Amino acid sequence: MKNTYLTPVVLAVAALLAACGSTPQSTSLLEQTRVEYRSAQASPNVATYAPQEMKLASDAMAKTETVAAERGSKDEVDQLAYLARQKIALTQEVTKRRMAEADVANAGKQRTQLMLDQRTNEANAAQIRANTANQAALMAQNDAARAQLQTQQAQDDAANAQLRNAQLETQLADLAAKKTARGMVITMGDVLFATDQSRLTATGIATAQKLATLLQNNPQRNVLVEGFADSTGAAEYNQALSERRAGAVQAALQQMGIASERVAMRGYGESFPVVANDSANNRQLNRRVEIVLSDESGRVMAR
């Protein structure tokens, strides 16, 4: 039983002694080939660009190593090492050539991409120029339309102004207005007031209504209502009467819808007679209310 268990151990020792006694054949050419093979094997470029060639070199190297391990002759080992070395050299050369081709191809791709980028940039620039031109054309069209609209608006404004002026002239003529250095003046004589009073008669109210309509149709204009008296009686009384009559016209216009800030009032009493107070008719002419119409800016020229 003991001999049965020891037999495998003895065989393993015998095999080890036999292996130690058969050292593989080696030559300087084989060693140099091994260095070159390991260098090629470690190169990632070889694996990328020459995998088939590297496979042939590996097969040749394996065959060489097998013969060397079996202690073939030096000539046979060198011959196989030489063939393996040639395949390794071919692998390196193919790797270099294909890397160069890849560089050329990559450079071509880069040139193509650059040309494509340049064409794209040119196309983009052309599109930008076209968009700019379209924008400019659109702005020009808008400007032309705006100018046309402004021209039409100006024409409409002119027509409306002409119409207002025509209406104003008609209304002023109906009120017997006179053109003076201070502007258009409407005179409300003594007959439009109750005798020696500041109350407007029915005819006076109708005249005031015409004046209110004129002001409503011309909202940019204002009026100054000025009251006057003759020289009969006390000056204080005449001053007060002129103020009351001017105030009566002012109040009537306000009651007819004219804003108070558009109607100024002033009484001058016996001042500024239009004729001498030497007869009843002349004194009646001096007892009056004058309404001075402003210019289009709303300004009334001071007396």
Is pLDDT at 21 greater than 80 in this prediction? no
Q: How many whole angstroms separate alpha carbon 71 and alpha carbon 276? A: 162
CA dist 23 and 258 (Å) reads 134
Quote the pLDDT of residue 18.
44
Confidence band of 162 (pLDDT split at 50, 70, 90): confident
Q: What is the pTM of this model?
A: 0.53
Where does the pLDDT of residue 294 fall: very low under 50, low under 70, confident under 90, or very high at 90 and above? Answer: very high
Strands 288-293 and 183-189: antiparallel
Express each pLDDT in 76-128 by its tens digit.
999 999 999 999 999 999 999 999 999 999 898 888 888 888 888 989 989 89
- Residue of 198, 209, 189 whose CA lies nearest to 241: 198
Please report how many Cα atoms fall inside a 13 Å half-sphere around the Cα of residue 153, on the Cβ side. Answer: 6
